[in-house]
Structure 1
Amino acid sequence: MIEAVGLTKRYGAKTAVHNLTFQVRPGTVTGFLGPNGSGKSTTMRMILGLDVPTSGRVTIGGRPYRELPNAARQVGALIDAKAVHGGRSAYNHLLSLAQLAGIPRTRVDEVLGVVGLQDVAKRRSKGFSLGMGQRLGIAAALLGDPQVLLFDEPVNGLDPEGILWVRNLMKRLAAEGRTVFVSSHLMSEMALTADHLIVIGRGQLLADMSVQEFIAANSAGFARVRTPDGEPEGREKLTSALVEAGGQVLPEPDGALRVTGLALPRISDLAHTADIRLWELSPHQASLEEAYMRMTQAAVDYRSTQDPRAGFQQPPPGYAMPGAPAPQGWGGPGGYPVLPGEQPNPYAQQPVPPQQQPHQAPVAPPAPAAPPAPAAAPQDAAAPAPADLTKRDSEDAR
């Protein structure tokens, strides 16, 4: 098991990681998520003893990495797939690592077969593609048959077959009772691979929960409803009926309606009573990607601006130009509407202007109230962050 307690790392005046506390348990694949510059790589380097924490501690099996006897046979890691001498063959690279750790030579052939590089074992690694380099890095991590494995972007550069292979490999390793900690920006892959998530932003802990709990806590289920495209009056009539029944309705960019607060049978009954045809009525749950974007939207350091040349060329029919007005209700941060039933993270949530709220039945204006108290900080980041937390080095603070 990997355990971090109050883990903090500063580079001079810049803070890369602040007060991280979490556990990575054996028997599950734990995903490590966060925007670029959030401190994921720095955290992994501290786990492996490559960086010394400014304060706090991180242990593997109750001991710091540097105190583990023959650590290479207990912990395997893929941090930088390019950390290979280009003049060495894949076989010699693994053989040198095996000899340093007292691992039998036969194990080199075994891991080359596991990662599928047995046919190119004698080739110099400088001629390897990005995907082949990733496979060689994974082979090095597996060399000592360790109980703890750390992977930083393990599917980078792999083709679809390779991605499926890595996914199944990590699941199999976890099923054997090993501790598997994997960092990735591919949300779709994390949704298929990870059982548990640790999410950080600007060096602070945002979430430590299962994938299902994470999606439920940062999104709300909804019904997707579509009426015939050539009958706009039916769409408006259905919207009014749903609002009168207590539902909340948001128009989607493709013309469908996103409905919350009403069960699907109730929506069907209302459409039938109003004599409105439906082309679609289906339940939907937010994806891991959407839940992740909602949570981390305020922790992103690098945002794109609108292309100043956008609009110089006539777009094809049906194409929405960048910067074009979004449908009503979709103007919130990141383009995601805030839905009833959602449990937004107070660190990431931004206030939504009144004109961007979903349609709902009119109510009497509330009496004036005192200004709301500031949102509480996340539980795991109760300690105040240093003022320089948003400053970053281009590479080291990762």
Structure 2
Amino acid sequence: MIEAVGLTKRYGDKTAVYNLSFQVRPGSVTGFLGPNGSGKSTTMRMILGLDNPTSGQVTIGGHPYRRLPNAPRQVGALLDAKAVHGGRSARNHLLSLAQLSGIPARRVDEVLGVVGLQDVARKRSKGFSLGMGQRLGIAAALLGDPQVLLFDEPVNGLDPEGILWVRNLMKALAAEGRTVFVSSHLMSEMALTADHLIVIGRGQLLADMSVTDFISANSADFARVRTPDTEPQLREKLGAALTGAGGHVLPEQDGALRVMGLPLPRISDLAHEAGVRLWELSPHQASLEEAYMRMTQGAVDYRSTIDQKAGLQQPLPPGAEPPMPVPGQGQPGWYAPPPPQQGGQPFAMPAGGPGAPTGPYGGAPAGAYGAPGAPAGQGAPGANPYAQSAPQAPQTPAPQAQAPAAPPAPAAAPAATPDASSPASSPAADTNQPEDAR
């Protein structure tokens, strides 16, 4: 068990922790919450003997940390995941810690498997990601199989699978009768992990209670009641009945009613007596985040202001709109084909060549060679599909007896004049070259 009595820490004129007293009992996960600068890290450092308190004391199992015999085998901690020599491999880092504490070397491989780093055990830690560093720090905390564990932001940098793993790990450690003390800013994670909460603000104790009691003490529960939208008179009738019974009724933006001061069975009975049909009757309980924000709203040191952007942006002319960003524009390999020519046909892929699409009978797909009278450079075999040509004047339809057009020239034939519509003017148009030669 961890016990702090009248713990105070001053740095010159600044008081980081003031008269802080609490207990962290074994068998449960205790969350340590507070805004930035509230003194959480300082408190944890004093628990581990890294900082001396100005007054008061903190003990682990009835003894200060520095007087514990072979303290690393009784207390494990993760305060800074970056406190690792970057030139050492994960295994050598843990092995050095084990040798200093008289821990068998086989334990190193065990904890590497527990945290999932067995495949990178011989890689230098300077190449580890933030999440891998967190896992290595947790492995160091578990190395001596301690009964007391302290974690400062243990899920920082972990992916969802890693967060779930840490949550289950802490619950399993507490179920074994160990003392687990966890500091975190993730309220949603603390709601799923912690059984008890210690909340401080500006170095002073604000709350020391279970998660359920903390939420109930710092939030106002209410019920949502909804009547048919097509009958607004029923909502007014129900509101009058609930108000007459002592409830406090407030309208919601979506047309529902927020009812406080009445339990759900009483609301249902009143609606039945008034002959009002209900579409919704649901309880609402505040989340841990809502309760925490309400508790610590007066202990926050850093608050954001509205960004006015005064004088930084030029006013747009009337009717002008800012250009929409193009996804990927400016990135390597980004390319946008030119827009189709007005009056022309959609872009057609060049016929022939490796990988060219084929029709149902093995030939070119329909439309690959274009329709008679199509603009030059569109649909012709081997032509540049992105070449533009001048629009042609409309032609009179040919008579039915007209002879069929001559077949297109082979793609390998060189163009006579290297103009904009010639295949020779665009390397991309030469579809007869092998893939490596393009």
Q: TM-score range with shorter-chain normalisation?
A: 0.7 to 0.9
How far did residue 308 of structure 1 move?
1.9
What residue in structure 2 maps to residue 257 of structure 1?
257
How far did residue 291 of structure 1 move?
1.5
Q: 2 CA distance for matches of 1:224 and 1:160?
A: 32
Task: Note if 1:188 corresponds to 2:188.
Answer: yes
Q: 2 CA distance for matches of 1:122 and 1:32?
A: 34
How far did residue 209 of structure 1 move?
1.1
Cα 1:88/1:255, change in 2 over 3 Å: farther
Matches within 5 A, 1:22-171: 22-171=22-171
User: What TM-score, normalized to structure 1?
Assistant: 0.75
Cα 1:251/1:96, change in 2 over 3 Å: farther
Q: Deviations over 1:15-34 (max 9, x none)?
A: 11000001111111111111
How far did residue 219 of structure 1 move?
2.2
What residue in structure 2 maps to residue 317 of structure 1?
none
Q: 2 CA distance for matches of 1:99 and 1:84?
A: 16
How far did residue 260 of structure 1 move?
1.5
Unaligned runs of 5+ in 2: 317-438
What residue in structure 1 maps to residue 297 of structure 2?
297
Q: Deviations over 1:104-133 (max 9, x none)?
A: 111100000000000111111111111111
Task: Note if 1:242 corresponds to 2:242.
Answer: yes
Q: Deviations over 1:187-219 (max 9, x none)?
A: 111111111111101100011111122122222
Cα 1:189/1:266, change in 2 over 3 Å: same
SS at match of 2:299: coil
Q: Deviations over 1:301-343 (max 9, x none)?
A: 1122223259x99xxxxxxxxxxxxxxxxxxxxxxxxxxxxxx
Cα 1:309/1:234, change in 2 over 3 Å: farther
Q: Deviations over 1:62-117 (max 9, x none)?
A: 11111111111111000011111112111111111111111111110000000000
- Over the aligned positions, Cα root-mean-square deviation in angstroms equals 1.9
Q: 1 CA distance for matches of 2:255 and 2:131?
A: 41
Q: 2 CA distance for matches of 1:253 and 1:146?
A: 53
What residue in structure 1 maps to residue 347 of structure 2?
none
Cα 1:16/1:119, change in 2 over 3 Å: same
Which moves more between the two structures, 270-279 or 111-120? 270-279
What residue in structure 2 maps to residue 8 of structure 1?
8
SS at match of 2:6: strand
Cα 1:252/1:300, change in 2 over 3 Å: farther
Letter in 2 for 1:109: D
How far did residue 269 of structure 1 move?
3.1
Identity %: 87
Task: Note if 1:268 corresponds to 2:268.
Answer: yes
Q: 1 CA distance for matches of 2:185 and 2:228?
A: 38
Letter in 2 for 1:63: H
- Bigger Cα Rg: 2
How far did residue 48 of structure 1 move?
0.6
Letter in 1 for 2:85: H
Letter in 2 for 1:81: A
Q: 1 CA distance for matches of 2:255 and 2:83?
A: 50
How many residues are matched?
312
What residue in structure 1 maps to residue 307 of structure 2?
307
What residue in structure 2 maps to residue 197 of structure 1?
197
Task: Note if 1:215 corresponds to 2:208.
Answer: no
Q: 2 CA distance for matches of 1:13 and 1:254?
A: 52
SS at match of 1:3: strand
Q: 2 CA distance for matches of 1:180 and 1:221?
A: 30
Cα 1:17/1:95, change in 2 over 3 Å: same
Q: 1 CA distance for matches of 2:150 and 2:254?
A: 41
User: What TM-score, normalized to structure 2?
Assistant: 0.68
Which moves more between the two structures, 234-243 or 24-33? 234-243
Q: 1 CA distance for matches of 2:256 and 2:111?
A: 51
Q: 2 CA distance for matches of 1:244 and 1:288?
A: 32
Q: 1 CA distance for matches of 2:113 and 2:14?
A: 44
